[in-house]
Amino acid sequence: MANSDKLVDDPLLWYDKMFNEAVFSVSNGENNDKGSLVYGENIGVFSSLYTVLPKAAITFTDSTLIINKDGTIYKWNSLAKSGVKGIDNNYLLPYLKYIVNDNAVYTKIFDNTEFGGRIYGGSTLDLRTYQHNNPLNKLQFSFTTPLKQSGTMNGSKIDNTEYNFRFAIPRDKSSLYGGRLRGKTMQAELRSSSSSYDFSLQYILTKYRISWA
């Protein structure tokens, strides 16, 4: 079958406002291939494929209702608060890895980080949960530089002012070079121990200064 014959049976398109995604629902009438292909506007790629194939969608300000061919109505992303499971049946957890490399010509001393977005409930306490009166941090940061330095921190070290989250980049574990992380670049990793989908990042800024040593 030619590629031009793939999209048949009334393709449907709607927009998911919760995650800024365009959802294309299409099927192939000949062999009954069907599904909904998701394009993530924030990341600029097609990111997911669902087996759900609705015949109609009704969008509201904060939710979307989809209608199956049998007339059943479902709420799209209704499992968002409890989390979404992967192919291994475990919950998918937020993870981000990025490289700070504004100018790799000179060595820098990395001082502070600021990021904005919707992170859980928004307060400092929402960055961590409590289990049997012991803190269990939702957010975990780790940093490494080419000079074999590394540092880690958790959500309890983050300050929040009107959804602007700030923290000091942790010092090197081995206390070399006065403890400050130094290098021409720095690798940062952000992990979460929560499957909650109330988690989005708008920007990340890393503040540094030139090392004259």
From CA 17, how far away is CA 52, in angstroms rounded? 18
Q: What is the pLDDT of residue 103?
A: 78
* Residue among 100, 111, 113 nearest 184 (CA): 100
The tokens describing 211, both together, are 């090392």
Q: Give residue limits of the domains in the chain.
A: 3-75, 95-210
In the chain, alpha helices (H): none
Q: CATH number of 95-210: 3.40.1000, 3.40.190, 1.10.1070, 2.60.120?
A: 2.60.120
Per-residue pLDDT of the chain (213 residues; tens, 9 = 90+): 344 444 445 668 888 877 788 888 877 655 555 678 889 888 888 877 777 778 888 887 777 888 877 777 777 776 544 555 555 666 667 788 999 987 788 899 999 999 887 777 666 777 876 665 666 778 889 999 988 889 998 888 888 877 788 999 998 877 655 688 989 999 999 988 876 666 778 889 999 999 886
Amino acid making up residue 109: I
| Sequential DSSP letters for 57-102 | EEE-SS-EEEE-TTS-EEETTTTTTT--B-TTSSBP--EEEEEE-S
- Looking at every residue in the chain, the average pLDDT score rounds to 77
Comparing CA positions, the residue from 197, 190, 168 lying closest to residue 97 is 190
CA atoms within 13 A on the CB side of 57: 22
Query: How confident is the model at residue 168, as a pLDDT?
Result: 93
Read off the pLDDT of residues 38-67 as tens digits, 9 standing for 90 and up: 898 888 888 777 777 788 888 877 778 888
Q: Is the dihedral of CA 71, 32, 9, 16 positive or negative?
A: positive
For the chain, what percent of residues have pLDDT higher than 70?
74
Q: How far apart are the first and last CA of the chain?
A: 66
